[in-house]
Structure 1
């Protein structure tokens, strides 16, 4: 039940932001009664966290599952998948950053943002064989996320060039 609720909440917040959807809108997006929604997510803050946890798992799966074994090909694939995510899931930037911007005093949101970005960096460095370059890879991925709304596929191409240049610089 919680996965259904979380998925619905994620869709609602991704489409309408964190301030606009009413509780009734969130209930409808989750496809449950108000009582059930509050049973699983007793506050709006809990609803946001549930939505972002769902988003976190979906993003990691989308970007990192079934990558090629070749490290250079894996780098290009990761960055292409980030671009696909931007095109299909959110063209407005990172939902985690948007959540923190909407509630900057929330420690749980800050911790979730930090965990999400750390896991992305760790998985990227492991998949690409660039163990010493977690921060570098995260900067490339974050740059792609921010540049994609303005530059689309050109941002993917640029990120892939940067990924290849990073590999050469560390060789």
Structure 2
């Protein structure tokens, strides 16, 4: 990804995360991306492409946040991973999961549903790998998604509960 495209995607991600997918005008998105309208359309020719660019950027940031530098021991990796999800929720997701929000805003978009599926599958697959829970991707995804949903109401107690559930999963 070029430096310009990265800057555009970061600005679009911020704009959509702060204001949702319906509210920002193209001019608002241009301003958030910090480029001219011509440059914005050169890199993202449609609003749908703008949303996908924002989600790709978010995906990369989320994977880096969750998985870079995790402890090697599976139980420690699980605890750290769930702590990091809690930290992400505290700092990045005032309005919930951006991927689910994008699909909710345009439920007929196969591209968005595919992006959501790819994002969740990669997160669950990598989580299973680092925690020694291969074959338990769906269970891990349910725990992680439950944590993201419960965070708004229960914060650190949601993280604690997710850790207990994760530790209870049998390893193959």
Same fold (TM over 0.5): yes
Partner Cα distance (1:15, 1:145) in 2: 17
Deviation at 1:165, TM superposition (A): 1.2
Query: 131, 135, 142: which is aligned to 2:134?
Result: 131
The answer to whether the 8 Å contact 1:10/1:52 transfers is yes
Match of 2:13 in 1: 10
- Name the TM-score, length of structure 2 as normaliser: 0.96
Q: Tell whether the 8 Å contact from 1:80 to 1:156 is kept in structure 2 after alignment.
A: yes
How many residues get paired?
169
Q: Is the 8 A contact 2:17 2:95 kept in 1?
A: no
TM-score by length of 1: 0.97
Residue 46 (structure 1) aligned with residue 44 (structure 2): no
Contact kept in structure 2, 1:97 and 1:113, CA below 8 Å = yes
CA distance in 1, matches of 2:75, 2:142: 17
Matched residue, 1:153: 156
Structure 2 counterpart of 1:35: 38
CA contact (8 A) 1:92 1:149 kept: no
Shift of the alpha carbon at 1:149?
Answer: 1.1
Q: Does residue 104 in structure 1 map to residue 104 in structure 2?
A: no
SS at match of 2:70: coil
Verify the 8 A CA contact 1:83 1:156 in the aligned structure 2.
yes
Unmatched 5+ stretches in structure 1: none
Partner of 2:119: 116
Deviation at 1:132, TM superposition (A): 1.5
Shift >6 Å, 4+ stretches: none
2 CA distance for matches of 1:93 and 1:69? 30
Q: Supply the distance in 1 between the matched residues of 2:94 and 2:10 (Cα, whole angstroms).
A: 18
Cα shift at 1:89: 0.5
Mean alpha-carbon deviation: is it higher for 107-116 or for 144-153? 144-153
Give 5+ residue unaligned stretches, structure 2.
none
Post-superposition Cα deviations, 1:12-65, rounded to whole Å, max 9, x if no partner, equal 000000000011110010000011001100110000000000000000000011
